[in-house]
Structure 1
């Protein structure tokens, strides 16, 4: 998701004011959930460790593999690019919420917060979220 934000911002600098705060929050979530953050005990399933969870980061590409979400081209239309970000944010939030079922209590609280923030981001990225 973070890489997707970076690619959209690089392709559509006019979206910086709208997307930069959301991207910063996603970067903070990555830091909190990743190595050095509030990582779960070894052997505990996490959203990034569940390869079937939609919206989770893709593993590094292997030789001969096809392009995945991390390398998909950014749509030329900024509205479509933002809509795709909304879908990715929703999938990521859903993956974090699903991981709550097997997470230890402290990590589950962090996952719940990140999932809620991701759901809010998905809403803010839709046309509904842009209405005043």
Structure 2
């Protein structure tokens, strides 16, 4: 080998060693990566949406519990209330997000269903059937108002669902009070 060949080989070897040493310095075990501002914002938005969904489902479930209590206390009202209760159950199901289970909308409350999942505190029901309809209408309006208030913070797809559920609640309130007189 000539001197030029040895020098080229030596230069290449030194260059390769320097590259390896430099790479070794920069590829040290990485520490925990700090999330970017976009990732933090996405997490904040996801948490806010989850909280909004939970509030919406809770409002509908509370209304559903009210229907169940009224139907249990006033079975004579079942022909009038069962279709509305079924609708409220469907709304609670639609507003829920994975893992938010609600009794099927087609099944009215039964003794087995109510004893299998007792509510934390029983919903008080007035003995007067007319007064109970007024109270149920007020509960429908309260849930409808909660869904309407949530519209501003909801993402577009969920806002459309909330608007539909709020409108249905207002219609239910009408049917429970004014609709009975017509």
TM-score by length of 2: 0.53
Q: Does 1:25 align with 2:87?
A: yes
Tell me, yes or no, if the aligned pair for 2:144 and 2:167 is still in contact at 8 Å.
yes
CA distance in 2, matches of 1:25, 1:72: 20
Unmatched segments (≥5 aa) in structure 1: 38-59, 62-66
Name the SS of the counterpart of 2:173 in structure 1: helix
Residue 88 of structure 1: how far off its partner (Å)? 0.3
CA distance in 1, matches of 2:94, 2:123: 26
CA distance in 2, matches of 1:22, 1:120: 10
C-alpha RMSD of the superposition: 1.6
Matched with 2:145 is: 94
Unmatched segments (≥5 aa) in structure 2: 1-62, 100-118
CA distance in 2, matches of 1:34, 1:99: 14
Q: Deviations over 1:58-110 (max 9, x none)?
A: xx85xxxxx6xxx3321111111111100000000000000000000000000
Matched with 2:181 is: 131
CA distance in 2, matches of 1:22, 1:30: 12
CA distance in 2, matches of 1:6, 1:36: 24
Runs of 4+ residues over 6 Å off in structure 1: none
Residue 21 of structure 1: how far off its partner (Å)? 0.3
TM-score by length of 1: 0.72
Name the SS of the counterpart of 1:101 in structure 2: helix
Matched with 1:116 is: 167
Residue 35 of structure 1: how far off its partner (Å)? 2.7
Q: How many residues align?
A: 101
Q: Which has the higher contact order (CA 8 A, sep 6+)?
A: 1
CA distance in 2, matches of 1:72, 1:104: 32
Name the SS of the counterpart of 1:100 in structure 2: helix
CA distance in 1, matches of 2:154, 2:123: 31
CA distance in 2, matches of 1:77, 1:4: 15
